[in-house]
């Protein structure tokens, strides 16, 4: 019955003949239609176009793909992109989990203060935060000043290293991880922990057996979010890192902006997309992406 009522809402023009000729279970599909249409037009078509460009611009051939896999630069940078994204995700998880834990478990000013810190971080432009690191780690920055005040001599090179590049990206992506974890942790019933304690579990055991498994959806969600966003980063490694920290989107950008080689840029983008899909598929096989939804 609900179907008959809802269907005309999607198709005002057919109101006179409610749902005739339409099976009752078509309603969900009709409701999905606007979203599907938006996805197709805004997402699938452009990606299809990129795929098409990669084999047709400037001529119909797979030469672009051959070049990607024969010139060492592209596979090397692609590999570096994935290892960097993985490192950043791992560090974000290690740093973000305790923060989210404290935020979720306490309900006093500590939780509020942490939430404000994370939110302010989240709302500040990433380019501003990247430049802030240039100052903090720079020659005239506080780190060097402290180092010299204690008479340790010349400070180690902090800026323009892989370390500063990773640091900058972790700083930018940490709020995503914390918020993803927090949203899941907040929903965990504290009584479950009390129950496990009453059954004799020590805090460590109760955390391992009860709390940690319940937070896994947040871990998966946050990790995938950070990992996929990180794959597209390039400004931060350019400004803070070395040429060895180059990310694949920097090469894509160079091909589009400086060389107008859109076909080749598309091919690199397709390879990145496929590689990302493979990583997620493998992940899904072993961990299950359905955990995303709790």
Partner 1 sequence: MTRGGKNVLSRRRVLKTGGAMAAGAAMGPLLLTERTIAQTRTIYVNTWGGSWTAAEEAAFFKPFTDATGIRVRTVAPVSYAKLKAQVQSGTYEWDVTGINQSEWLRAEREGFVEPIDWTIVQKDKLFPNAVFANGIAYCALGTNLAYRSDKFPQGGPKSWADFWDVKKFPGTRSMYNNAPRTLIAAALADGVPIDKVYPLDVERAFKKLDQIKPHIKVWWTQGNQSQQLIRDGETDMIVMWNARASELKEQGHPVELVWNGGMVSTTMWGVAKGAPNRKLAWEFIQFAVQPKPQAEFCNRLFYGPTNPKAFEFVKPEVAKQMPTYEPNAKQMVVTDPDWEAANAAQLQERFTQWLAS
Complex with partner 1: residue 57 or 207, whichever CB lies closer: 57
**Contact between 31 and partner 1 (CB under 8 A)?**
no
Q: How far apart are CA 144 and CA 129, in angstroms?
A: 19
Q: Does 259 bind partner 1 (CB under 8 A)?
A: yes
Choice from 51, 256, 275, 289 touching partner 1 (CB under 8 A): 256
Tell me if 147 contacts partner 1 by CB under 8 A. no
Cα–Cα dist 227/262, whole Å: 26
Span near partner 1 by CB under 8 A; candidates 185-193, 219-227, 228-236, 282-290: 228-236
Which of 252, 267, 270, 271 binds partner 1 (CB under 8 A)? It is 252
- Which ranges of the chain would DSSP assign to H, the alpha helix? 2-10, 27-39, 45-56, 63-70, 72-105, 109-123, 126-136, 142-149, 162-185, 190-198, 203-206, 212-231, 235-240, 248-257, 262-286
Among positions 13, 21, 72, 151, the unique one binding partner 1 when judged by CB under 8 A: 72
Structure tokens that stand for 220 in this block: 């998966």
* Euclidean distance between CA atoms 276 and 248, whole angstroms: 12
One of 204, 243, 285, 293 touching partner 1 (CB under 8 A): 243
CB of 66 to partner 1, least distance (A): 14
CA–CA separation, 76 and 247 (whole Å): 10
Distance CA 19, CA 27 (A): 9
Question: For partner 1, which is the closer residue by CB, 126 or 207?
Answer: 126
Geometric angle at alpha carbon 123, from 119 and 129, rounded to 5°: 110
Among 253, 273, 275, 289, binds partner 1 (CB under 8 A): 253
Q: Footprint of partner 1 on this chain (CB under 8 A)?
A: 71-73, 76-77, 80, 125-127, 131, 134, 138-140, 159-160, 229, 232-235, 238-239, 243-244, 246, 249, 251-254, 256-262
């Amino acid at each position: 019955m609900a179907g008959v009522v809802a269907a005309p809402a999607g198709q005002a023009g057919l109101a006179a003949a409610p749902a005739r000729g339409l099976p009752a279970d078509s309603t969900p599909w009709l409701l999905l239609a606007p979203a599907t249409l938006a996805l197709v037009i805004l997402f699938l078509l452009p990606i299809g176009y990129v795929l098409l460009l990669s084999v047709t611009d400037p001529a119909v051939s797979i030469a672009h793909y051959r070049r990607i896999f024969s010139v060492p630069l592209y596979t090397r940078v692609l590999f570096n992109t994935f290892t960097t994204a993985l490192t950043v995700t791992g560090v974000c998880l290690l740093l973000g989990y305790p923060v989210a834990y404290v935020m979720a478990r306490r309900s006093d000013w500590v939780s509020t203060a942490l939430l404000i810190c994370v939110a302010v971080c989240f709302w500040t432009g990433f380019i501003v935060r990247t430049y802030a690191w240039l100052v903090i780690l720079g020659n005239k920055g506080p780190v060097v000043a402290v180092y010299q005040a204690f008479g340790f001599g010349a400070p180690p090179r902090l800026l323009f290293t892989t370390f500063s590049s990773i640091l900058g990206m972790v700083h930018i992506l940490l709020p995503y991880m914390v918020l993803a974890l927090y949203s899941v942790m907040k929903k965990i019933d504290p009584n479950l922990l009390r129950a496990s304690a009453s059954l004799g579990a020590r805090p460590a055991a109760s955390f391992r057996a009860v709390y940690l498994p319940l937070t896994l959806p947040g871990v998966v969600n946050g990790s995938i979010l950070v990992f996929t966003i990180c794959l597209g980063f390039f400004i931060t490694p350019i400004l803070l890192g070395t040429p060895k920290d180059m990310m694949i989107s920097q090469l894509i950008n160079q091909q589009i902006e400086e060389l107008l080689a859109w076909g080749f840029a598309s091919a690199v983008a397709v390879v990145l997309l496929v590689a990302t899909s493979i990583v997620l598929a493998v992940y899904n096989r072993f961990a299950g992406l359905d955990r995303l939804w709790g």
